[in-house]
Amino acid sequence: MTTDTSVRAPLSAAARLRHRKWYQQPRWKRLFAMVALAVVLTQAIGVQGVRGDIFFALQENFTGVRLWVCLAIAVTIWAVREFGADVMARYSAALRVETDRPVERPADVPPAEGLSPRTAHVWLPATVARSVKLATARFRQNATYRWTALGALLAFLVLLPLMVSTLWQQVLVDQIGMYVLVAIGLNVVIGWAGMLDLGFIAFFAIGAYSAAFWTGGLPVEPPVELNNFLVIPVAVVTCLIAGVLLGAPTLRLRGDYLAIVTLGFHEIVYLVARNWSDFTGGTRGAPNLDRFSIDLGFWSYQWRLDPAPYYWLQLVFIVVIVVLFLRLEHSRVGRAWTAIREDEVAAAATGVNTVRFKLLAFAIGASTSGVAGVVYAGKQGFINPEQFMVMMSVLALSYVVFGGMGSLAGVILGTAILVWLPEFLRDIVAPEDRFLYLGGLLVVMMIYRPQGLLPSRRRQRELRMAEEGSGGADALGAQPGGVRG
């Protein structure tokens, strides 16, 4: 008696629920996303429409070479990432095995000719990787190596303005340095405490207007005029208070609800600055603001139009804030923020005062924007409400996510890259299209590396748990109690 195996038995109801069509597989979903991105970019960066012919732009953009170029780039990225990842994973595994092989001395490493064909192709990379691994271990264990590397990095950053043109010095000061200060503070709120804030640039505006007020740049006279350096602690305290005022009524909110409230807070600050003309100057803004200056009696210095001194001033502030925040990250406060981000209900059940620590996150994050606002106002010498649009909050959030939420090094690197890219495309791409390329890069990044360039180890673990279906792993989108909707 023979059994006909050509007829497949019908699937049960449970099996049908578990079964996925080929187009439902993650690999092909990512292909669809990349193709959609290519089509959107083709239309966005192509020719513009004309009156009287609503299909002119579509015909020009989708019948030319641009569409095929964008599709080829998108599909190439997808193919390399999807099919090359397995090859690289196998090679990395073999390399890791060879790298971890115990070796007494470098002279004990056998030559490539003495290895089997399976391991011969990884001998040289493994030798290099073993040397790098040894150097890294020594770097972590030996304070001398660490301080030497950090000193070399700091020396490079100090000398950087002397290596670039005046245009790039302006970019370093007006955009990279300013956004780095803002992103470091936003990382406290989003990356460490897990609270989505879309109105963070409002604190930056508060810091700038604090500088304008206390230096006598607004229509109202301050009780006493202060030097810009003396304004910094006042602006920090002002932003701390503003952060508490924002945080207090939003303690029971999270996710998109918190994002909407913070967005409303930004609009309140923006509209007050725009419409309260008697105090802020309204749309005219605050011109002729005082620049930074030092007068010690025996020595004085005045910051003028040269951007390099402002860059060094910003670098000092960034280094001080990074050192303080690194200490804060590994303190009791930083660990409490981590617990709140992972699961607020569980953190409260274990004795963490969630109200206090969430208010601290808002206040401390806002204080960094206060410093950035004072430096920005002193550098520009002029501010008005249009310089603090909500788009700046969106850009700052993008920089934090791109660099790696929760990682100070990642946030700084991601901010520097994404601010540098539009300026690098200045002579290649039309001004209205620069940020479209930036958006395309962000989409690709979120598809293939959602943890960011240099993510923190905790954030990597949370994303891995979220992919595995562990409840409460990603606090930015989790429901109370860690339950996902």
Confidence of residue 457 (pLDDT cuts 50, 70, 90): confident
- CA–CA gap between residue 46 and residue 58 (Å, rounded): 9
Position 303 in a domain? yes
Task: Assess whether 98 and 207 both reside in one domain.
Answer: no
Q: What tokens does 66 get?
A: 């641009």
pLDDT at 481 over 80: no
Same domain? 95 vs 57: yes
Which residue shows structure tokens 């788009």?
Answer: 391
Domain-embedded: residue 314: yes
| CA-to-CA separations, 73 to 235, 293, 381, 429, 434, in angstroms, rounded | 47, 51, 44, 17, 18
Mean pLDDT of the chain: 81
DSSP lists the bridge partners of residue 383 as: 286
Q: Is 4 domain-assigned?
A: no
Q: Check if the beta carbon of residue 332 is closer than 8 Å to that of residue 191.
A: no
| Structural domain total, the chain | 2
Q: How confident is the model at residue 232 (pLDDT cuts 50, 70, 90)?
A: very high
What is the value of pTM for the model shown? 0.79
Instruction: Please indicate, yes or no, whether residues 449 and 305 belong to a single structural domain of this protein.
Output: yes
Residue 197 lies in a domain: yes
Question: pLDDT tens-digit profile of 260-308?
Answer: 999 999 999 999 999 998 999 888 888 888 888 888 878 888 888 889 9
Decide if 304 is inside a domain: yes
Domain end residue (candidates: 114, 141, 168): 141
Q: Residue 404 corresponds to which tokens in the numbers above?
A: 């790696």
Shared domain for 35 and 183, answered yes or no, is no
**Which residue's entry shows tokens 């030559």?**
111
Q: Which residues make Cβ contacts (< 8 Å) with residue 239, sequence separation at least 6?
A: 203, 206, 207, 210, 363, 366, 367, 369, 370, 373
Is residue 106 domain-shared with residue 173, that is, in the same domain? no
- Interatomic CA distance for residues 192 and 48, integer angstroms: 43
Q: How far is CA 457 from CA 183, 203, 396, 406, 451, in A?
A: 19, 29, 22, 9, 10
Q: Indicate whether 88 belongs to any domain.
A: yes
Residue 376 and residue 395 in one domain = yes
Boundary (domain end) residue, out of 120, 141, 162: 141
pLDDT score of 91: 62
Question: How much is the average pLDDT of 156-185?
Answer: 92
- Closest C-alpha among 248, 277, 246, 280 to residue 264: 246
Q: pLDDT, tens digit, for every residue of 437-452?
A: 888 888 888 888 888 8
Amino acid 475: pLDDT? 47
Per-residue pLDDT at 114: 47
CA atoms within 13 A on the CB side of 224: 5
Q: What percent of the chain has pLDDT over 90?
A: 28
CA dist., res. 336 & res. 358, Å (int): 9
In angstroms, rounded to a whole number, what is the distance separating the alpha carbons of residues 128 and 156? 26
Q: Looking at residue 105, what is its pLDDT?
A: 46
177 and 296 assigned to the same domain: yes
At CA 285, angle to CA 372 and CA 196, rounded to 5?
40
Identify whether residues 100 and 204 lie together within a single domain. no
pLDDT per residue over 69-127, tens digit each? 888 988 898 888 888 777 766 666 665 665 555 544 444 444 444 444 445 555 556 56
Q: Which domain holds residue 52?
A: 13-141
Q: How far apart are CA 34 and CA 2, in angstroms?
A: 48
Residue 277 lies in a domain: yes
Question: How many residues in the chain?
Answer: 485
User: Per the domain annotation, does 72 fall within a domain?
Assistant: yes
Q: Quick one: which of 415, 403, 406, 408 has its CA closest to 453?
A: 403
Q: Quick one: 157 and 49 in the same domain?
A: no
* Three-state secondary structure string covering 215-270: CCCCCCCCCCCCCHHHHHHHHHHHHHHHHHHHHHHHCCCCCHHHHHHHHHHHHHHH
Tell whether 359 and 438 lie within a shared domain: yes
Residues 128 and 216 in one domain: no
Could you tell me if 132 and 84 lie in one domain? yes
H helices present in 10-108, as ranges: 13-18, 26-45, 56-62, 65-99
Task: Write the pLDDT tens digit of every residue in 374-398.
Answer: 999 999 889 999 999 988 998 999 9
